[in-house]
Every structure is written in C-alpha cells, then in structure tokens.
C-alpha cells in the first residue's frame, strides 16, 4: 500500500511539473521501438529520426501552438516486452503510438492499443495479416508482403517477358512471394514455364540450372536470399547462359556480389524499398542532412525512415482536425489524408490501414558490382 501511495504521489508530482512547464497541454505521441536486442540498430535509428522530427517541430512552434511530447518505450524486438511497452504507452496518455519493426512484435501489441483506443502506426511490419483483422485504429507506413509480388508481376509485364521461371527456397517469405507473383502472372496470361524450390545452404545448383535451361525461360525470378542467388548467378555464368535474372528484397545484401563475382552479377536486378541514401523526395533530403548533422551517420535502412513518416502523418492529422483525439486521427488518416508528401514518397492509407502506393523500386547491379536505383 505504501508503495502505491508513493507511486501515486510521484505520478501526481510529475504531472504537475509537466503541466507547469508546458504552455498548453502537450500532445503526447508514443514511440515503441527495439532499442535493445537483435534489431537494436533499427530501433535506435527509429528513435533518432522521430526525436529529430519532434525537436524540429517544437522549435517551429509545435502543432497549432501545442508542444509535442514524445514518449519512447523499448520493445526489445520481443513480443512479450512489446506487450508491456504498449501497456506503459497506453497508460501514459498518448494519443497515437508509432511502432514497431518486426511483424510478430507488432502483433503482440495490436490488441492492447486497440482496447485502449489508441492509434497505432506500424513502421517495419509487412506481414499481411496485421491489417486483415479489422482493427479500426491500426495503420502502417510499411508495404505489405503481397505488394512485392504485385510490383514483381507488373515489372515482368512491363519488361515484356513472355516465359517466366519462378524459383523459391520453401521459406515462408520466399514461397509467399513466388506464389503471389505466380497467381498474378497466371491471371495476366503470362506463361510460367518453371516453378520449383531449391534447397538453401547448398553449394551446387547446376542441376537446377540445367533443368531451368531446358525450360527455356525469358527471365528467372528467384525469390530466395542472397547466398543462393549469388551461387545461381555464378554457376549460370559458368554455363555460359545469358538469361536475365531478377530477385526480391531478400537479395538486397552487399555480400551478393562478393559471392557471385562482379561479372556474373552484372545486369541482375531486384526489387527492394529504396535505401535511405536513394530517397529522392525533397523532404527526405533535408531530413537526412539534419540527421547527419545531429547523429553523425545515416539511418541503416528505409524501415526506420518509415517511423519518421508515421510521426509526420500523425502531426498532420492533429493539425488538420484540430483535435488531439485518437478517433479523429484514425478517421482522418484512413479517409481524408491523400498523397501526403512523406520521406518515402506520397502517403495515403486505405480503409484497412494499409499504405497505398508502391514503395518498391528496382535496383540493378552495374559492372562495378554496385546496386544502382533504376528510374
């Protein structure tokens, strides 16, 4: 009992103190991110970006004269820790929470925010099911896993390939992408001449390549990860077979070229969200300059930049509706916000809370083994 009284007194004192320092009631925005654990570098980038934006906003006068107060909680990249973090954030009176990175981690916190009626905007969680639950106040700035398949099918059609070979590695991610692409290509009438899975972790894929060659495709779309893709590229070159090859974002790793060699990787292209250095929106350029000045480095991936986008759309919603109210924010974001100029391109949301518009870009490997963003 003593502890409870102590805690209550402390909380009271703290809230009084805050009330005294702020001119008006501050708008509280929560950020839940993995500051520790295996994704710590992502989480720290997320915190850095959102802190930077909040500081800039407050310096410029806040939202309609109200200061923004950021409440950061660590989810440790772990579903159980995330549940605790979500409870802390919802009880601290935030109107909206940004986060988090991993899909499973986000999923563990979804119902807590939903029950508390707090808007949640996930930033790196791409699993399809998150927005299929009909949660009214859940949104995400990240693309869905099935969007990549859509973009891949579109790209294959745009490049005019008629006979497509699909190769995955039986992981749920790679198989999902291959299936998604296959379904769309079937619908569009593009011929799938080959569909099979390789065994990841092996060295010799010549048997697969020989079989692929007999199927005579115009393009090989291998949805697997970079070690296997690198070996395939290399052994394909050794067979003197010049068929083009493409991949998904699991191929986006600098070691790809190390494994395949520059010569074999040349001309290989893959889909991926743009890296922070390739973001071409003017807002992104100025934000990255400020980020560099403050933290002496650039964010490691695009996923943390999406946290910045989430912060900005929340601020935009509060500004436009004039209300620091969760229901109003969710409604505004899902129905009224159209083509907001974000860091990662234009942002709109659909009824489910998914981001509309593609984030995926095409990268091609040049003769020096560098990944070049294609226009």
- Binding stretches for other proteins (CB under 8 A): 170, 196-199, 201-204, 206-208, 210-211, 213-214, 227, 230-231, 234, 238-240, 255, 258-259, 261
Nearer to other proteins, 227 or 345 (CB): 227
Nearer to other proteins, 207 or 372 (CB): 207
Minimum Å distance from CB 263 to other proteins? 9
Minimum Å distance from CB 242 to other proteins? 12
Nearer to other proteins, 39 or 360 (CB): 39
* Cα–Cα distance, 127 to 107 (Å, whole number): 9
Contact (CB, 8 A) for 224 and 177? no
Nearer to other proteins, 221 or 360 (CB): 221
Nearer to other proteins, 241 or 295 (CB): 241
Contact (CB, 8 A) for 168 and 174? yes
Nearer to other proteins, 166 or 307 (CB): 166
User: Residue 351 class from Cβ within 10 Å (0-12 exposed, 13-18 middle, 19+ buried)?
Assistant: exposed
Minimum Å distance from CB 59 to other proteins? 42
Minimum Å distance from CB 171 to other proteins? 12
Minimum Å distance from CB 220 to other proteins? 13
| Alpha carbon distances (Å) from 315 to 21, 230, 290, 339 | 21, 43, 19, 15
Minimum Å distance from CB 170 to other proteins? 7
* Cα–Cα distance, 216 to 253 (Å, whole number): 28
User: Residue 34 class from Cβ within 10 Å (0-12 exposed, 13-18 middle, 19+ buried)?
Assistant: buried
Minimum Å distance from CB 155 to other proteins? 24
Nearer to other proteins, 11 or 254 (CB): 254
Write down how long the chain is: 375
Minimum Å distance from CB 216 to other proteins? 11
**Strand duo 96-98 + 27-33: pairing:** parallel
Nearer to other proteins, 210 or 289 (CB): 210
* Cα–Cα distance, 105 to 43 (Å, whole number): 13
Minimum Å distance from CB 365 to other proteins? 16
Nearer to other proteins, 216 or 286 (CB): 216
Nearer to other proteins, 18 or 239 (CB): 239
Minimum Å distance from CB 202 to other proteins? 6
Contact (CB, 8 A) for 284 and 344? yes
């Amino acid at each position: 009992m003593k502890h409870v009284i102590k805690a209550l007194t402390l909380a009271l004192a703290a809230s009084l103190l805050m009330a005294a320092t702020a001119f008006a009631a501050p708008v509280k925005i929560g950020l839940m991110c993995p500051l520790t654990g295996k994704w710590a570098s992502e989480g720290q980038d997320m915190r850095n970006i959102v802190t930077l934006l909040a500081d800039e906003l407050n310096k410029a006068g806040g939202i309609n004269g109200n200061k923004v107060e950021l409440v950061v909680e660590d989810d440790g990249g772990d579903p159980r820790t995330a549940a605790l973090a979500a409870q802390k954030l919802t009880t601290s009176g935030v109107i909206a929470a940004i986060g988090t990175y991993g899909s499973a981690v986000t999923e563990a916190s979804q119902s807590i925010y939903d029950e508390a009626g707090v808007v949640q905007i996930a930033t790196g969680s791409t699993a399809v099911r998150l927005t299929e639950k009909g949660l009214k106040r859940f949104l995400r700035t990240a693309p869905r896993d099935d969007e990549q398949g859509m973009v891949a099918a579109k790209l294959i059609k745009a490049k005019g390939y008629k006979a497509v070979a699909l190769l995955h590695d039986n992981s749920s991610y790679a198989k999902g992408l291959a299936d998604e692409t296959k379904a769309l290509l079937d619908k569009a009438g593009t011929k799938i001449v080959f569909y099979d899975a390789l065994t990841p972790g092996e060295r010799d894929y010549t048997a697969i390549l020989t079989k692929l060659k007999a199927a005579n495709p115009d393009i090989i779309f291998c949805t697997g990860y970079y070690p296997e893709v690198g070996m395939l590229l290399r052994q394909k070159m050794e067979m003197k077979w010049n068929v083009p090859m493409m991949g998904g974002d699991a191929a986006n790793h600098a070691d790809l070229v190390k494994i395949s060699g520059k010569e074999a990787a040349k001309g290989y292209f893959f889909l991926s969200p743009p890296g922070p250095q390739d973001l071409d929106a003017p807002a992104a350029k100025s934000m990255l300059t400020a980020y560099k000045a403050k933290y002496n480095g650039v964010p490691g991936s695009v996923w943390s930049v999406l946290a910045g986008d989430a912060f900005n759309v929340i601020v935009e919603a509060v500004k436009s509706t004039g209300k620091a109210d969760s229901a109003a924010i969710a409604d505004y974001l899902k129905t009224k916000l159209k083509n907001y100029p974000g860091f990662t391109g234009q942002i709109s949301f659909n009824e489910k809370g998914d981001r509309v518009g593609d984030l995926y870009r095409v990268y091609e490997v040049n003769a020096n083994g560098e990944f070049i963003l294609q226009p």
